[in-house]
Structure 1
Amino acid sequence: MEKEAVSQSLKLYIVLSRAYKAINEHVNKYIQENGVNPTEFAVLELLYHKGDQPMQQIGSKILLASGSITYVVDKLEQKGMLNRIACPKDRRVTYAQISEEGKQFIQRIFPDHEIQIHKLMSSLDEHEKAEAIELLKKLGIPAGKF
């Protein structure tokens, strides 16, 4: 391997990591100011936009370990933001369903969340955003195969 190419790969990794960290800190601060943690928000957003989900599948959809899902669902259920629904066809399956209170919460904060993310991405024009999306997909697909 060429030393310069390896060095450039490491630099890309560091820049990508720092950019993600900086953006994520801003987004997470807003979420936490609204009384939930980022994982709780991710579960509520998933249920709001995609409908009821089997608890066993939530973790893979929001990139969270399956053992943590029960804890997060318990907290959201205690806050009245979601309900557990038993599957009538398979007793082994339990669905998470966003409650009316959870829907109202997401409807209240999601528009500002979207705007905040848009502002954080505003240093790129639309063409650059499209290019970044394609480049990051190109980078991520092979990484998932290791």
Structure 2
Amino acid sequence: MSDNLSLKTFVVLMKAAKSIEELIKKDISSHGMKSSDFAVIEAVYSKGRQTIRQISEAVLINTGSITYVIDKLENNGLVERVDCKEDRRVVYIQITDKGKKLMDEIFPKHQQVIEALFEGVTSEEKEIVLDVLKKVGRKGEALR
């Protein structure tokens, strides 16, 4: 019975993830962006300047693909590369004034979509979901 419940939980989790992903893609595209572009610019908007590796780890995009996304965002004047004074091998990515202005406009709208998604879910339920997903995620990492 437990195995059956695990399988059912997995299927529901995957369906929920797909539904959420489609909703978020639709929201982001309504602002004229692709999900990968939004993820990168949101990372530097929220956390400040970061290395390409830090951004890659945060948004789960491999470094080869992320360079293309950063190039595109840089060409549009939304982010810029800044050399590290202490280590010439390190290059930081930071948001520009134009990028910050854009995110100041669209991020609150994006956040409202996420809030609507969790409407009717109590804080306690959100904490439980967080704990369970972290536990499952750690187990998945261990089994890889």
TM-score range, shorter chain: over 0.9
Give distance in 1, aligned partners of 2:127 and 2:71: 38
2:83 counterpart of 1:65: no
In the superposition, the TM-score normalised over structure 1's length comes to: 0.92
DSSP-derived class of the 1:145 partner = helix
Partner of 1:26: 23
Give distance in 2, aligned partners of 1:21 and 1:107: 27
Give distance in 2, aligned partners of 1:126 and 1:56: 33
Q: Deviations over 1:84-123 (max 9, x none)?
A: 1111222211111101111011100111111110111114
Opposite residue 76 of structure 1, the aligned amino acid is L
Q: Percent identical across equivalent pairs?
A: 40
DSSP-derived class of the 1:122 partner = coil
2:127 counterpart of 1:130: yes
DSSP-derived class of the 1:91 partner = coil
2:109 counterpart of 1:107: no
Opposite residue 94 of structure 2, the aligned amino acid is Q
> Over aligned residues, Cα RMSD in angstroms?
1.2
Deviation at 1:131, TM superposition (A): 1.4
> Following superposition of structure 1 onto structure 2, how do residues 85-124 of structure 1 map, counting pairs within 5 Å?
85-124=82-121
Give distance in 2, aligned partners of 1:55 and 1:94: 7
Pick the aligned partner of 1:79 from 76, 79, 83.
76
Give distance in 2, aligned partners of 1:79 and 1:21: 30
Q: Deviations over 1:5-55 (max 9, x none)?
A: 333222111100110111121111111111111111111111011111011
Gaps of 5+ in 2: none
Deviation at 1:56, TM superposition (A): 2.4
DSSP-derived class of the 1:144 partner = helix
Gaps of 5+ in 1: none
